[in-house]
Amino acid sequence: MSASKLRPVIASRKSFPPWMIILGVLGVLAILGLVIGLLVHFLAVENKIYYYQGSFKVLNIPYDRNYERETSLESNYLSKILEIKMVDAFESSNIYKQYINSQIITLVPENNSVTAHIWLVFKDPRSNQESLRRRIENILHQMLENNSGSLTTDPGSLKLTEITKVDAEKIINNRCGRRPRMSATYDRITGGSTAQKGEWPWQASLRVNGKHHCGASLIGERFLLTAAHCFQRTNNPKNLTVSFGTRVTPAYMQHYVEEVIIHEDYVKGQHHDDVAIIKLTEKVSFRNDVHRVCLPEATQVFPPGEGVVVTGWGSLYYNGKSPLLLQKASIKIIDTNACNSEEAYGGRIVDTMLCAGYMEGNVDACQGDSGGPLVHPNSRDIWYLVGIVSWGHECGRVNKPGVYMRVTSYRDWIASKTGI
Ligand code: 4AZ
Q: Which residues contact 376 (CB under 8 A, 6 or more apart)?
A: 302, 306, 307, 308, 309, 383, 384, 386
Rounded-to-integer distance, Cα 297 and Cα 295, Å: 7
pTM to 2 decimal places = 0.89
User: Ligand 1 centre and the CA of 333: distance in Å?
Assistant: 16
Looking at residue 128, what is its pLDDT? 78
Instruction: For ligand 1, say whether the CB of 389 is within 6 Å of any of its atoms.
Output: yes
- Among 93, 102, 217, 370, the one annotated catalytic: 370
The protein residue whose alpha carbon is closest to atom 2 in ligand 1 is 367
Looking at residue 40, what is its pLDDT? 64
**Mean pLDDT, to the nearest integer, of 336-361?**
98
Q: 61 near 113, Cβ under 8 Å?
A: yes
User: Ligand 1 centre and the CA of 308: distance in Å?
Assistant: 17
148-201 residue pLDDT tens: 778 999 999 999 999 999 999 999 999 999 987 553 343 447 789 999 999 999
Report which ligand 1 atom has the smallest distance to the Cα of 394. 8
Looking at residue 5, what is its pLDDT? 39
Instruction: For ligand 1, say whether the CB of 104 is within 6 Å of any of its atoms.
Output: no
Report which ligand 1 atom has the smallest distance to the Cα of 214. 11
**Mean pLDDT, to the nearest integer, of 105-126?**
95
Give the model's confidence band at 402: pLDDT under 50 very low, under 70 low, under 90 confident, else very high. very high
User: Ligand 1 centre and the CA of 84: distance in Å?
Assistant: 40
Looking at residue 186, what is its pLDDT? 38
Give the model's confidence band at 44: pLDDT under 50 very low, under 70 low, under 90 confident, else very high. low
The protein residue whose alpha carbon is closest to atom 3 in ligand 1 is 367
Looking at residue 229, what is its pLDDT? 98
pLDDT at 25 over 80: yes
299-339 residue pLDDT tens: 999 999 999 999 999 999 999 999 999 999 999 999 999 99
Any catalytic annotation for residue 117? Answer: no
Cα–chain-centroid distance for residue 185? 15
Give the model's confidence band at 3: pLDDT under 50 very low, under 70 low, under 90 confident, else very high. very low
Write b or e for each residue in 50-65: b if 16 or more Cβ atoms lie within 10 A of its Cβ, otherwise e.
Answer: bbbbbbbbbeebeeee
Angle at alpha carbon of residue 211, lines to 326 and 241, rounded to 5° = 90
Looking at residue 147, what is its pLDDT? 83
pLDDT at 14 over 80: no
Give the model's confidence band at 419: pLDDT under 50 very low, under 70 low, under 90 confident, else very high. very high
Looking at residue 43, what is its pLDDT? 58
Looking at residue 42, what is its pLDDT? 59
**Mean pLDDT, to the nearest integer, of 136-154?**
93
Rounded-to-integer distance, Cα 317 and Cα 308, Å: 20
Looking at residue 121, what is its pLDDT? 96
pLDDT at 45 over 60: no
Report which ligand 1 atom has the smallest distance to the Cα of 357. 4
User: Ligand 1 centre and the CA of 267: distance in Å?
Assistant: 17
70-99 residue pLDDT tens: 999 999 999 999 999 999 999 999 999 999
Nearest to 203 by CA among 103, 306, 118, 291: 291
Q: Across all residues in the chain, what is the average pLDDT?
A: 92
User: Ligand 1 centre and the CA of 368: distance in Å?
Assistant: 7
Looking at residue 12, what is its pLDDT? 45
**Mean pLDDT, to the nearest integer, of 32-49?**
71
Looking at residue 41, what is its pLDDT? 60
**Mean pLDDT, to the nearest integer, of 208-226?**
98
User: Ligand 1 centre and the CA of 71: distance in Å?
Assistant: 29
Looking at residue 194, what is its pLDDT? 96
Any catalytic annotation for residue 274? Answer: yes
Instruction: For ligand 1, say whether the CB of 401 is within 6 Å of any of its atoms.
Output: no
Instruction: For ligand 1, say whether the CB of 366 is within 6 Å of any of its atoms.
Output: yes
Any catalytic annotation for residue 229? Answer: yes
Instruction: For ligand 1, say whether the CB of 144 is within 6 Å of any of its atoms.
Output: no
Percent of the chain with pLDDT over 90: 83
Write b or e for each residue in 275-301: b if 16 or more Cβ atoms lie within 10 A of its Cβ, otherwise e.
Answer: bbbbbbeeebebeebbbbbbbbbeebe
Q: Higher model confidence: residue 40 or residue 397? A: 397
Instruction: For ligand 1, say whether the CB of 395 is within 6 Å of any of its atoms.
Output: yes
Looking at residue 9, what is its pLDDT? 40
Instruction: For ligand 1, say whether the CB of 369 is within 6 Å of any of its atoms.
Output: yes
- Which of 369, 393, 397 is the pocket-test mutation for ligand 1 (most atoms within 8 Å of CB)? 369
Give the model's confidence band at 126: pLDDT under 50 very low, under 70 low, under 90 confident, else very high. confident
Report which ligand 1 atom has the smallest distance to the Cα of 389. 6
Looking at residue 150, what is its pLDDT? 84
Looking at residue 181, what is its pLDDT? 59
User: Ligand 1 centre and the CA of 369: distance in Å?
Assistant: 7
**Mean pLDDT, to the nearest integer, of 100-104?**
97
Report which ligand 1 atom has the smallest distance to the Cα of 396. 4
User: Ligand 1 centre and the CA of 394: distance in Å?
Assistant: 6
Looking at residue 61, what is its pLDDT? 97
Looking at residue 17, what is its pLDDT? 83
- Which of 391, 393, 399 is the pocket-test mutation for ligand 1 (most atoms within 8 Å of CB)? 391
Looking at residue 21, what is its pLDDT? 84
Give the model's confidence band at 46: pLDDT under 50 very low, under 70 low, under 90 confident, else very high. low
273-303 residue pLDDT tens: 999 999 999 999 999 999 999 999 999 999 9
